[in-house]
A and B are shown apart, each in its own frame.
Chain A
């Protein structure tokens, strides 16, 4: 059973413990086309790319063809040979090395007959490859001196090394995240040139407006399945959003009138590497969501708020008082805490057990004449183990061997145990199973009804729709919209997240 497509996958499934990242996916990228893949976080986009790149092996039922040849077993090397090339997120360049060295890392160096590196020919070769795409740079300078689109061009040119004429497929994974609008246009010129030379392109992006500018066809993934493929002329922005979100969305009726508590925390001029100065206020008992995709500033937002990274112009007003300094211990003393997104390295201490992790937020209540009373600790820990239904319900259990969901429960409990005023959560259910997710949501709702305020920073639209009373949507470092009450639903969130942003400048 052959294949005429540039890249084709058939019945591709990938099961991880507890979840199915890809479910019987079949897709083909035709020769010479630019084929876009869109989908929310968790839709299976990155798993698909990782399987094509050989990082994961698919379940035995799946098949992959590149240029008509089926790939089995030794995927990565074979696929590369057959012409499947990648520019991954982050580009994979080494900033300190120059352009020529970065090329050499992947494609090897041109050598003279004496095995010595032939610098002149290598430099000429790299320079000429780059000028094909209209990029004129000094290839002996370190990559970090290039601008974003030049770096992307280097990564693309490097990836295409050694491709025969009129063959091959290039996978571009979120290539425009760090680019200005002008640079995006330059990149599209390069991509069209790539297409003209006969290379097919698989283009993964969450910027829907760009898809309409660059792609010939688009495929939408949801929950690991393919929910639609279409020629770009035959589909609209709204259609894509609906496909991404799905038809069977439980409409959660949110009352537009919710009695807002007193204003608790006022944030002004929150700026960072990506955030361009945002303002908002959180009220007691309110669950505020901040939605954003990669590049919008969502990743740095919670850390700037807590003072883990410094935001120069940030001004925080808590209970009417302006805070003079912003750093984690000070915020903690004022009742503002962060549940970090990176559970493994920042959320908890792997070498501690459940009890030691859960009480780390505040050890003062357990001190009796200088002595740390383990018995009192256990009482508190057992209370929260019950509230969050931790499995297994053992305070002395290792933290590390708990499932992801239970680990997250421990971290959430740690912060609820200190009676905070405001709890900031960064991607709270990343890698958490459905059961744990529901439990954490119910505890959040319960605590909110008792006056605790939550700020949930997430790229998961469904989660935000379910939890939040109000959602601020970040796009390119600014809040582009606020959804309240009935407006809070997954469709609106996804629509706003992927919206066109006129300002797109850096």
Chain B
């Protein structure tokens, strides 16, 4: 049993991660092979990690949420605009933004569960609406303001031993989600629905209710990511959300091939996020061209799914 746990099949990504570290260390011993790199990787990956984690619960329940990019954009804009144009304190602005995120999740949940629209299509539609909303609010202009610095910026820039606060937020969210999925009855039911909705239904699981809340959860965590991101760059940007979508999905899918063999899971997702993050950092430090990181992500995704033979469940 122990042998299986350390096998390539189970934690192959960790081995690949080690290979990548060794490779770049050899390639760029000066820049890559320093203790700063570890911190950079950790810090850089935190927000992607949050976005990726937002997907784990809905995907485990078999629900695609394509609107998280839009949610990030909206919460970023809401936070920035509130701070720039009004005098409310940062905490209130954050609460407002998270409240909006919950509302977005509610809309998604209504569209998918109540109106019975396929989640893939439904959240694709809402993401388009959210994109429009961002444009309306921002007039396609970034929002900068001194109020986006100072206290608000500290949320993402506080450091302990060189590690920024977002890593801590990531850790806390990861812990909560891990507990939910692995150690609660709800988590068991979430996986049941994701694997076989009809069996879950016939087993007495409240399928609608769990799918409903899964979409609210993803929007909420995406909202947290949006707030933290706005704090980090101290700008409310209309284009900030969508670029996170692909890396987040890639990380969750690669993560599903690890640790829990076929189940979307927290630890696997984190490993995948940092595997990709390490690769990206290594690539940029060794001066590889701009397209290299995207090639890297694509290859990792293909090989992870291909090598572990993860069956593609029906969308």
Residues on A facing B (Cβ under 8 Å): 306, 308, 328-329, 332-333, 337-338, 340, 345-352, 356, 359-364, 366-367, 370-372, 414
Contact between chains at A349 and B204 (CB < 8 Å): no
Which residue of the partner chain, among B187, B203, B262, contacts A361 with CB atoms under 8 Å? B203
Kindly supply a per-residue 1/0 record for chain B positions 181-224, scoring 1 wherever the CB is within 8 Å of any chain A CB and 0 otherwise.
Answer: 00111011101100110111111111000000000000000000
| Chain A residues whose C-beta falls within 8 Å of the C-beta of B200 in the assembled complex | 349, 360
Quick one: given A328-B204, A360-B192, A361-B204, are A347 and B199 in contact (CB under 8 Å)?
A: yes
A337 to B199, CA, bound (A): 12
Contact between chains at B198 and A363 (CB < 8 Å): no
* Interface SS of chain A: mixed
B263 contacts A by Cβ under 8 Å? yes
A21 to B206, CA, bound (A): 41
A370 to B198, CA, bound (A): 26
Quick one: given A349-B195, A351-B195, A363-B189, are A338 and B202 in contact (CB under 8 Å)?
A: yes
Other 12 A-B pairs with CB < 8 A, given A308-B202, A346-B199, A370-B184:
A308-B201, A329-B204, A340-B199, A345-B198, A346-B198, A347-B199, A348-B199, A350-B195, A352-B191, A360-B188, A363-B185, A366-B185
Quick one: given A328-B204, A360-B192, are A371 and B199 in contact (CB under 8 Å)?
A: no
A337 to B203, CA, bound (A): 8
A370 to B176, CA, bound (A): 12
Contact between chains at B202 and A346 (CB < 8 Å): yes
Quick one: given A372-B185, A372-B188, are A362 and B204 in contact (CB under 8 Å)?
A: yes
| Chain A residues whose C-beta falls within 8 Å of the C-beta of B189 in the assembled complex | 360, 363
**Which partner residue on chain A sits nearest B1 by CB separation?**
A396
User: How far in angstroms is the closest Cβ of chain B from A2?
Assistant: 50
Contact between chains at B205 and A360 (CB < 8 Å): yes
Choose among A328, A340, A362 the residue with the greatest number of B CB atoms under 10 Å from its CB: A328
Which residue of the partner chain, among B198, B201, B203, B262, contacts A351 with CB atoms under 8 Å? B262
**Which partner residue on chain B sits nearest A377 by CB separation?**
B188
User: How far in angstroms is the closest Cβ of chain A from B105?
Assistant: 22
| Chain A residues whose C-beta falls within 8 Å of the C-beta of B205 in the assembled complex | 329, 360
Which residue of the partner chain, among B188, B192, B202, contacts A306 with CB atoms under 8 Å? B202
* Interface SS of chain B: helix
User: How far in angstroms is the closest Cβ of chain B from A133?
Assistant: 41
Contact between chains at A356 and B262 (CB < 8 Å): no
Contact between chains at B263 and A351 (CB < 8 Å): yes
| Chain A residues whose C-beta falls within 8 Å of the C-beta of B206 in the assembled complex | 329
| Chain B residues whose C-beta falls within 8 Å of the C-beta of A351 in the assembled complex | 191, 195-196, 262-263
A388 to B194, CA, bound (A): 28
| Chain B residues whose C-beta falls within 8 Å of the C-beta of A371 in the assembled complex | 183-184
For this complex, 28 residue pairs linking A to B, each with C-beta atoms less than 8 Å apart, are A306-B202, A329-B201, A332-B204, A338-B202, A340-B199, A340-B202, A346-B196, A346-B198, A346-B202, A347-B199, A349-B192, A349-B195, A349-B196, A349-B199, A350-B195, A351-B191, A352-B192, A356-B188, A360-B188, A360-B200, A363-B189, A364-B185, A367-B184, A367-B185, A372-B183, A372-B184, A372-B185, A372-B187
| Chain A residues whose C-beta falls within 8 Å of the C-beta of B199 in the assembled complex | 340, 345-349
| Chain B residues whose C-beta falls within 8 Å of the C-beta of A356 in the assembled complex | 188
A349 to B203, CA, bound (A): 10
Kindly supply a per-residue 1/0 record for chain B positions 145-184, scoring 1 wherever the CB is within 8 Å of any chain A CB and 0 otherwise.
Answer: 0000000000000000000000000000000000000011
A352 to B60, CA, bound (A): 13
A332 to B185, CA, bound (A): 17
User: How far in angstroms is the closest Cβ of chain A from B61?
Assistant: 13
A61 to B202, CA, bound (A): 45
User: How far in angstroms is the closest Cβ of chain A from B140?
Assistant: 45
Contact between chains at A360 and B196 (CB < 8 Å): no
| Chain B residues whose C-beta falls within 8 Å of the C-beta of A366 in the assembled complex | 185
Which residue of the partner chain, among A338, A346, A363, contacts B188 with CB atoms under 8 Å? A363
Quick one: given A351-B263, A363-B185, are A328 and B202 in contact (CB under 8 Å)?
A: yes
A489 to B201, CA, bound (A): 36
Contact between chains at A414 and B185 (CB < 8 Å): no
Choose among B185, B189, B198, B201 the residue with the greatest number of A CB atoms under 10 Å from its CB: B185
